[in-house]
Every structure is written in C-alpha cells, then in structure tokens.
Amino acid sequence: MREYLLTLCITAAVTYLLTGPVRKFAIVAGAMPEIRARDVHREPTPRLGGIAMFFGLCAGLLVADHLTNLHQVFDRSNEPRALLSGAALIWLIGVLDDKFEIDALIKLGGQMIAAGVMVMQGLTILWLPVPGVGTVALTQWQGTLLTVALVVITINAVNFVDGLDGLAAGMVCIASAAFFMYAYRIWYSYGIEAAAPATLFAAILMGMCLGFLPHNMHPARIFMGDSGSMLIGLVLAAGAISVTGQVDPDVMNLFSGSERNTVHQTVPVYIPLLLPLTIIAIPAADLILAIVRRTWRGQSPFAADRGHLHHRLLEIGHSHSRSVLIMYFWSALIAFGALAYSVNSASMWIVLSVVVLSAIGLVLLLLPRFTPRAPVWAERFVPPRYRRRRVVVASGQPAVAEPAPAEQEARTPVAAGVSGVNGATAVGPRSRLSR
C-alpha cells in the first residue's frame, strides 16, 4: 500500500507543479479560444491541461518501475507499456484538437487506433465472467472488438461530462478511488497477481486528477481539454479491461467455493462491460442520452448542445458549485455502492443505505424548487437566500416584489444587463449556455 500511495503522491505532485507552466504555455500557443455560444465560462480560458496530466502519468509509471514490489508489475506484464503507448497516442490527438479543433470523426478514428495499439501489446479482454454461465473464453477478434468498443465508449463518456469546472476530474477521481479499492482487494486478499496492473493504473489516475483539480475548480484557471479528458478516460478503461479480461475467475474458486459464487463476487467487474461502466455510470448515461437526443433531432451524435445532465442542473436553479457537488454525490453513490455490494452482496444494510442516500440525492436535485423561507422575525438570523421577497412601493407605481439581496447577486453576473439612468441595470433572464 505504501508504494501505491507514493506513486499516487508523485503523480499528483508532478501534475500539480506542471499545470501552472502549462497554462502559460497554452496562452502563448494560442490554445485559448474565444467564448462560444455554448460555453458556460465568461472569460477565455486556456486549454491543454492534459499536457501536465500526461507527464504526471509518465512520472507515476517511472517511479513505480523503480519500486521494489511494483517493479514486478513491469517484469511480469506488458500492460503498463501498452497503456503508455495508447495514452501517448490519444494525448497527441487531444493536444492537436485543443489547438486546431480537428474533426470529430478523426478523433474517433484516433481513439480506435489507440485502443488497437493497446490490444496489440496484450492489454485486451480474454474472457468474461457471465452470471449463471461461468467463464466464457473469447476469440481474438471478439476480444479485440470488445476492448476497442469499451475504450471508445469510456473516452467519450468522460469527454461528454467535461462541461463544468472540476466536474470530469472529480468524477473520474471518485470512480478510480472505488476501482482502486476493489482491484487492491483482489490483488492482496485473493493473491491474484493479474490484478496488480489495474491497481497501479487506478492509483496513477487518482494522482493525475488530484493534481489537476486545484487548478480546475470553479472558477477554473485552465481546462484539461480533450488532451486531458480523453487521456483519463483511456486510463480508466485500461484498468477496467485489465481486471476484467486478465483476472481468471476460476482462480478465485479456491476462495469462494464455486464458480457461481465467484461470478457473483465479480459483479462490479463484469457490470462495467455491460453498462459499460458502473464506476462512471453518470457519464455513460449522459453519453447515451446525448446520442439519443441528437439523433432524434436529426443531428450528428458529436454535435454540441445544451442538454447534458450538468446543464440541466443549472437550468433548474442550482449554482455552478452545487451542480458539480451533486454530480460528485451520485458518482460516489454508484461507485462505492457497487464496491460495497462486491464485498458483501447478501447484506440488506447496503441496499437500504443506497436507497436512503438515493432519496437524499433526489431532495438535493429538487432543492431549488422547494427553497424554504424563514418567517419575518427570523430573517436576520438566516442567510439572505432564505429571506422573503420585500415589496417596494414607489409613488404612483404599483407594488413590485423585489428579490432578496442574494437572489439579485446570483442573477446579476450571468444576466444580460442594459445600462439605464444613474448607472442602473435592467437584469434580463439568466443565460443557460453550455460549454
């Protein structure tokens, strides 16, 4: 565990320290596009944050290669080299897109090539644990197609959810933390060495996200861009492929007693291939909804719009920060709920806890619709957002309900204002645009 933590910390430190210089480089290189109609940020912000994340990945792999125990991962498996090859290719495509905005089909082709490079070097799905059937061996073509599909879906799911400051990095960090705990349990509890690469990938991915988040939290000083979102999506997919397609469930029969019990114990592993990823179920759901929505309208599935889940949270009245925290909550609930179920699938307390937390999540989603108002005598003791509207009556004019101070402040920065007499501003409807 200490070597994994050291690798995580080195990766986070390198990513954090390089993000500042990368930001200056992105400004000089002109990777700071003008505000578009679909953007939520109001000032031009540099991209290319994926450069710092990629070098953090390289530093993490380099450090792990020189540690006593983790060095065995590089000796006994070619998966770290396969990951680095695919990551370098997808990162290069992302950098070009951040600077020149290449066509979506070219990016899709690059994603498939990066996945193919990893397959050629051994990072592929060899078999699947199927409930009620057991272990199903895959042919070379079946494993290749399934691996490429999983990589492409995961990359685009993470890319689609990268719409608010700190959202993609935080959600992937939560998913990788849950995935690390599960892979670490298989590696050390069951003694299955094939789970060691996936554990290493998850630790490095956490470091990449944690190192970048301080620069990317609202208001963001730099965006990860496609060079970052596609990179962390590929690393997350590589970990899922490694632990799913390389760990033989038959080995776990020695500990679980039967193949059927083994399949049930690997629920959080084979479910990611079916959903395709429970550990990033929210981005995957957003991806599916976006494809259906755009296809229904006769648009390209890669066309940008304002219908993503995080944009809908903004539309119903949540602030930027609260929208991100709500998405964090649901990601953690699904990822760690699956992790808890894998440890003890027979416990009803886990199911009840997930149900209760889901109810809390629904209340948080509907909070802007049911904002409580304090009585008049208690208004001085509560924040301004809970105070009632004040009625302002001007001479010769009808009574007008004036919003509370907090409501005025919330609307003013994002509204289209028109200057009037004495510097007054007429506030229009709030802009709800997507990045």
Write out the binding residues for Mg(2+).
159, 226
Residues 6+ apart with CB under 8 A from 143: 119, 124, 125, 126, 245
Measured in degrees and rounded to the nearest 5, phi and psi for residue 150 equal -65, -40
**Residue 128: DSSP 8-state:** E
Parallel/antiparallel/unpaired status of strands 425-430 and 415-419: antiparallel
Q: Which two tokens stand for residue 151?
A: 């990589």
Match 């886990």 to its residue by tokens: 350
SS3 for 397?
A: coil
- Interacting residues of 342 by C-beta distance below 8 A, sequence separation 6+: 182, 265, 266, 267, 268
CA distance 118 to 148: 9
Question: Scanning the structure block, which residue is given the tokens 């298989």?
Answer: 186
- CB-based burial label for 429 (10 Å; 0-12, 13-18, 19+): exposed
DSSP 8-state secondary structure symbol assigned to residue 95: H
Q: Which residue has the tokens 């808890």?
A: 340
Q: What is the DSSP string of 405-416?
A: HHHHHHHGGGEE
Task: For the chain, report the end-to-end CA distance as a whole number of angstroms.
Answer: 39
Q: Which residues contact 10 (CB under 8 A, 6 or more apart)?
A: 59, 60, 63, 207
Binding site residue list: 159, 226
Question: CA 258: distance to chain centroid?
Answer: 35
Q: Confirm if 285 and 153 have CB atoms less than 8 A apart.
A: no
- The Cα 262–Cα 249 span in angstroms is 6
- Return the structure tokens found at 338: 């699956």
d(CA 429, CA 152): 38
Would strands 390-392 and 425-430 be described as parallel, antiparallel, or unpaired?
A: unpaired
C-alpha gyration radius of the chain = 24
**Is residue 134 within 8 Å of 128, Cβ to Cβ?**
no
Q: How many CA atoms lie within 13 A of 50 on its CB side?
A: 30
